Amino acid sequence: MPDSADAVLEGLDPEQREVATALQGPVCVLAGAGTGKTRAITHRIAYGVRAGILQPSSVLAVTFTNRAAGEMRGRLRQLGAAGVQARTFHSAALRQLQYFWPKAVGGSMPRLVDRKIQLVADAAAACRIRLDRGELRDVTAEIEWSKVTQTVPADYPPAIAKAGRDAPRDPAEIAQIYNVYEDLKRDRSVIDFEDVLLLTVAILQDRHDIADQVRSQYQHFVVDEYQDVSPLQQRLLELWLGDRDNLCVVGDASQTIYSFTGATPDHLLDFRTRHPGATVVKLVRDYRSTPQVVHLANGLLAQARGRAADHRLELVSQREAGPEPVYTEYTDEPAEAEGAARRIRELMDSGVPAAEIAILFRTNAQSETYEQALADAGVPYQLRGAERFFDRPEVRKAGIALRGAARFGGNDSLLDDAPDLPSQVRAVLSGEGWTTQPPAGSGAVRERWESLAALVNLAQDFATARPDATLADLVAELDERANAQHAPTVQGVTLASLHSAKGLEWDVVFLVGVAEGMMPITYAKTDEQIEEERRLLYVGVTRARRYLHVSWALTRAPGGRPNRRPSRFLDGLRPGSAATAGRTAAVGSGGVVRGFTSRPDAAPRRTQRTPARCRVCGRTLTDAGEMKLMRCEGCPSDMDEGLYERLREWRGIQARLSGQPDFCVFTDRTLMAIAEAEPVSPVELSRIPGVLKRKLDRYGADVLAICAGQEVGDGADGE
C-alpha cells in the first residue's frame, strides 16, 4: 500500500497522472485499448481519498460487470481507499430501491425475478402466440431493449423502424406480448432487472426529498465503459448528479460493440457539448500489445467511417517489438481448425501456458470445429460465454431426432426420398427448424439455425470421408464427439466469441474465420452495422499481447468451391492486399502469408477459380445466394415471373409426392436462377448452381419441358 497520497501517483504516465489529479468538475477520459484506464481511475479515486479531497463514502464508481466492479474494489483496497462504493448500475440502483421503497411506495418491495423468459412465455401464451425457445429469447431481448431505451409497448413498432432493428417477429405481435408481459408482472407483484433502473429513476424524479438524500450521500461519480451506457442508465446518472458536475467518465467509442442491447457511444461523444468546461484526457500509450499488434489495430480504425471513427485514438505501443501478425489462408474450415490446434500444441510444447492462449470467433456456432480439433490434438480448452456445442438445447434435441430416425428410419416417410446421408440429415433437421436459407437478422433464432447448420455440414463432411456411412454411423460419431468433449478442462486454451472476449487479454490470440460473410457477418447490411463489425474485429486484435494469428478459409468443407475471400477489413493491411477504394488505409508493415492444408503431405491447393461477377453490374459476388443468381441482390432481375410460378407449382407437387419439404427439390434461389436463365439443354441447366447431377438426372427433363412451355406429368420421378 502506498504510504502517502503522492506515492499513489508514482508510476503513472503523464496522461494517467493528469486523470488522477483532475478531481473537480467534469472529466472525460478517452482511453484506448490496453492504455491502463482502470489503473488511471482507481489511482484518481485513491489519490483523492488519501489527499483528503474525497471522502470514501461520497464516491460512487459504476461499471457494467460484477467482475469489473470487483476488480476495481480490490485495487482501491490495495491503494488504501477502502470504503468506496464500486458497483454495477443495477447493483447500485437495487440498493437504493430497496432502501427507499418503504418511504416512497410503502409495504414490501416486489420480488425481483432472476429470469424473465418464463413470464414472456406466459405473456405470449395469453396472446395465443406460439414461440419456440429461440424466439422466446429473441422476444425477451426485444423487451429488454425497449425498456433500456425507454420505449413503451405502443411505441415499439415505430421505434425499431427508426433504429433500423430487425424484429424477430411481427413488431405488432412483440408489442402485444410486451404489453401483456407488463400486466402479468403487476398482477404477480414482481419486477425485472430493467424495472430496477426504471423504478429508481421514477422515485428520484418524483420525490425530490429522496433525490436530495441520495445526492447528499454521493458527491463524486466515476463511470467506466461509458460508451456502453444506455439511455436509461444515462437518465439515472443525471438524476444522481442533479445540478452538480463532479463526474469522471471513461470510454472508447472504438470499442462500442453492444449497440444491439441499447448501448450508444453518443453520451461519450457528446460529453463536451453537455459539459463545455470539461477536462478531456486521451490515453493512447498502449501497455498491453506489441508495436506490431498495435499497428494492425490502428490500421483497422484508419479505414473506419462514421462518428465513432472520427473520434478514434491512435495507439502508441510501449512494449518491446514482437513478431508480426501471421496471416494464414486455409483451403477449408477443418484445415483452419487443425492448423490452429497444431500451432497451439507447438506453443504449449515450447512452454507457453494454455491459459495464455485464446481462439476468438464471430459466432458461437463456430466453436464445434475448434472444440473437436483441440480435443483431437490433446489440447485442454475452456469455452467462455457459451455452452459447449453438444450441450446446447437445439443440438441435444437434434441428436434425439437423428437417433430416432436412425432407429426407425425404415418406417419414416420423411426419409423415403432421401437417398444419401446428408439429405437424410437435412430432412430430419428440417423438422427441428433448419432451412436452406438462414433466418434474417441476429439473435437466438439465428444462433439455433447456425448450430443446426453446423450439424448439416458435419454430416456432409462425414459422408465425404465415409461414402458408405449410414445415419446410425453418424449418430455414433456425434456421441463419440460429445463424450470426448465432456472431459473437465479447468485450465486450458480459451474458446470465446469476440463479444465475450471484451475486457480480456492473452499472450497469444488466434482470430479465426476472418472472411467475408463472417466478418462482417452476413446480416450486417447498413453502414452502422458494418462499422460495428469492424470495431468487433478491432476488439479482437487488441486482446493479443504478443502473438496474433489471423486466418480464414477459402471454403467450408474439403473439396468445396474456393469462393470465399478474406475480410474486407484486412484490405491494405495484410501483405499483398490493396487498400479498399475510397478509404484511407494505414501503411501496414506486413506479416507472413502462409497457407496450410489439413496434412503436411496433402496435395497442393488447386488454383482459385475466377471470381463470380454480377451479370448486370459486374461487381464481384461473395454471397452464396447472389452467386447462385449470378447477380447482386439489388440489381434488376430479368426473370420470367410466369415461368417462376410454374416451376414453384411443379416443385410443390414433387415435394408432396416425395414427402419432403419444397426446398429438398429445389430452393427458391435455384428456381429463380432457372427462371432467369431459361435453359434449353441439360448442359445449360447443369451450369446453374444448385442443379447437381442427381437432381439433373431426376428432374432435368421436367424442368426443361416447363422452360419450353410444355406440360409435364405428375410422376414423382419427373419422367
For the four alpha carbons of 125, 128, 134 and 139, in that order, the dihedral sign comes to negative
Alpha helix (H) ranges present in 79-166? 89-104, 117-126, 133-148, 156-163
For residue 709, give the nearest of 663, 647, 631, 633 by alpha carbon.
647
Copy the grid coordinates of residue 412: 419414416
- pLDDT tens per residue across span 565-595: 999 999 989 887 776 543 443 333 222 222 2
Most confident of 186-195, 377-386, 431-440: 186-195
For the four alpha carbons of 701, 707, 710 and 711, in that order, the dihedral sign comes to positive
Tell me whether the omega of the peptide bond preceding residue 520 falls within 30 degrees of 0, making it cis: yes
For residue 634, report the phi and psi dihedrals to the nearest 5 degrees: -90, -5
For residue 512, report the phi and psi dihedrals to the nearest 5 degrees: -115, 160
Q: Which helix (H) or strand (E) holds 497?
A: strand 493-497
Copy the grid coordinates of residue 165: 432493428
For residue 202, give the nearest of 93, 90, 115 by alpha carbon.
93
What angle, rounded to 10 degrees, do the helices at 393-408 and 421-430 form?
120
Q: Which helix (H) or strand (E) holds 673?
A: helix 668-677
689, amino acid identity: P
Q: What is the pLDDT of residue 404?
A: 81
Residue 38 counted as an annotated binding residue: yes
Q: Return the number of other C-beta atoms located less than 10 Å from residue 625's C-beta.
A: 18
**Does residue 411 have a pLDDT over 70?**
no
Whether 257 contacts 38, CB under 8 Å: no
218, amino acid identity: Y
Convert 411-452 into a string of H (helix), E (strand) and C (coil). HCHHHCCCCCHHHHHHHHHHCCCCCCCCCCCCCHHHHHHHHH
DSSP 590-609: --EEEEE-SSTTSPPPPPPP
SS3 assignment, position 434? coil
Distance between CA atoms of 360 and 11, rounded to whole angstroms? 33
Tell me how far the alpha carbon of residue 218 is from its chain's centroid: 37
Residue 299 counted as an annotated binding residue: no
Residue 35 counted as an annotated binding residue: yes
Residue 634 pLDDT grade (very low, low, confident, very high; cuts 50, 70, 90): low
Q: What is the pLDDT of residue 535?
A: 93
- pLDDT tens per residue across span 508-565: 999 999 999 899 988 788 888 899 999 999 999 999 999 999 999 998 878 778 888 9
638, amino acid identity: D
Copy the grid coordinates of residue 488: 473437465
Tell me how far the alpha carbon of residue 649 is from its chain's centroid: 39
Give the count of alpha carbons within 13 A of 286, CB side only.
27
In the numeric block, the cell 515450447 is attached to 350
Give the count of alpha carbons within 13 A of 550, CB side only.
28
- Of 144-158, 221-235, 490-504, give the lowest mean pLDDT range: 490-504
SS3 assignment, position 285? strand
Whether 336 contacts 342, CB under 8 Å: no
CA distances from 287 to 128, 315, 317, 617, 658 (A): 56, 10, 6, 47, 64
SS3 assignment, position 410? helix
For residue 553, give the nearest of 370, 409, 690, 427 by alpha carbon.
370
- pLDDT tens per residue across span 173-194: 999 999 999 999 999 999 998 9
| Biggest CA pair distance of the chain | 94
578, amino acid identity: A
Strands 381-384 and 493-497: what pairing? parallel
Distance between CA atoms of 151 and 171, rounded to whole angstroms? 13
For residue 655, give the nearest of 640, 668, 642 by alpha carbon.
668
Tell me whether the omega of the peptide bond preceding residue 380 falls within 30 degrees of 0, making it cis: no
- Higher-confidence position of 318 and 476: 318
CA distances from 260 to 33, 141, 168, 256, 621 (A): 21, 9, 13, 10, 28
257, amino acid identity: I
**Does residue 621 have a pLDDT over 60?**
no
Residue 124 counted as an annotated binding residue: no
DSSP 449-491: HHHHHHHHHHHHHHHHH-TT--HHHHHHHHHHHHHHTTS--SS
Tell me how far the alpha carbon of residue 16 is from its chain's centroid: 32
Helix and strand tally (H, E) in the chain? 28, 17
- Higher-confidence position of 598 and 324: 324
SS3 assignment, position 359? strand
Distance between CA atoms of 409 and 472, rounded to whole angstroms? 10
Tell me how far the alpha carbon of residue 548 is from its chain's centroid: 20
Q: What is the pLDDT of residue 388?
A: 62
Q: Which residues contact 482 (CB under 8 A, 6 or more apart)?
A: 390, 399
**Does residue 653 have a pLDDT over 60?**
yes
CA distances from 218 to 56, 69, 244, 247 (A): 10, 17, 11, 11
Distance between CA atoms of 214 and 240, rounded to whole angstroms? 7
Residue 36 counted as an annotated binding residue: yes
- Higher-confidence position of 162 and 449: 162
CA distances from 197 to 239, 287, 300, 553 (A): 11, 36, 36, 45
DSSP 225-254: SGGG--HHHHHHHHHHHTT---EEEEE-GG
CA distances from 356 to 34, 375, 502 (A): 16, 18, 15
Q: Which helix (H) or strand (E) holds 286?
A: strand 285-286
Residue 397 counted as an annotated binding residue: no
- pLDDT tens per residue across span 684-718: 888 787 777 778 888 889 999 998 888 876 544 43
SS3 assignment, position 327? strand
Whether 338 contacts 373, CB under 8 Å: yes
The rounded percent of the chain whose pLDDT value lies above 90 is 37
Q: Return the number of other C-beta atoms located less than 10 Å from residue 17's C-beta.
A: 18
Copy the grid coordinates of residue 489: 478442462
Whether 533 contacts 524, CB under 8 Å: yes
Residue 108 pLDDT grade (very low, low, confident, very high; cuts 50, 70, 90): confident
**Does residue 260 have a pLDDT over 60?**
yes
Distance between CA atoms of 568 and 455, rounded to whole angstroms? 28
Tell me how far the alpha carbon of residue 295 is from its chain's centroid: 24
Whether 674 contacts 702, CB under 8 Å: no
- Higher-confidence position of 275 and 418: 275
Residue 349 pLDDT grade (very low, low, confident, very high; cuts 50, 70, 90): very high
Q: Which helix (H) or strand (E) holds 134?
A: helix 133-148
Q: Return the number of other C-beta atoms located less than 10 Å from residue 629's C-beta.
A: 24
Q: Return the number of other C-beta atoms located less than 10 Å from residue 642's C-beta.
A: 10
- pLDDT tens per residue across span 52-81: 898 999 999 999 887 788 888 888 888 888
Copy the grid coordinates of residue 444: 437466438
